[in-house]
Amino acid sequence: MTRVVLGVSGASGAALALAAARHLVRLGVDVELVVSSAAERTLLAECGAEAMAELTGLAASVHPLADVGASIASGSYPVGGMIVAPCSMRSLAAIAHGLDDNLLTRAASVQLKERRPLVLLAREAPLTLAHLRNMTAATEMGAIVLPPVPAFYLKPVSLDQAVEQIAARAVDLLRIAPAVGRAWTGEGPE
C-alpha closest to that of 69 among 111, 40, 107: 107
pLDDT-derived band at 188 (thresholds 50, 70, 90) equals low
CA separation for the pair 91, 102 (Å, rounded) = 10
Lowest mean pLDDT among 23-27, 149-153, 182-186: 182-186
pLDDT-derived band at 127 (thresholds 50, 70, 90) equals very high
Residue 1 has pLDDT above 90, yes or no: no
Decide if 68 contacts 102 (C-beta within 8 A). yes
Q: Can the peptide bond before residue 156 be classed as cis, meaning omega within 30 degrees of 0? A: no
> What is the CB neighbour count within 10 angstroms for residue 63?
22
Average pLDDT over every residue of 141-156: 95
Q: What is the reported pLDDT for 152? A: 93
Instruction: List the chain domain ranges.
Output: 3-173
C-alpha closest to that of 67 among 92, 96, 36: 36
Q: What is the reported pLDDT for 48? A: 97
C-alpha closest to that of 65 among 86, 46, 91: 91
- Residue 128: alpha-carbon gap to chain centroid: 21
CATH of 3-173, one of 3.20.20.140, 2.40.50.100, 3.40.50.1950, 3.30.365.10: 3.40.50.1950
Residue 170 has pLDDT above 90, yes or no: yes
Q: What is the reported pLDDT for 26? A: 97
CA separation for the pair 108, 106 (Å, rounded) = 5
Of 142 and 182, the structure prediction assigns the larger pLDDT to: 142
pLDDT, tens digit (0-9, with 9 covering 90-100), for 67-114: 999 999 999 999 999 999 999 999 999 999 999 999 999 999 999 999
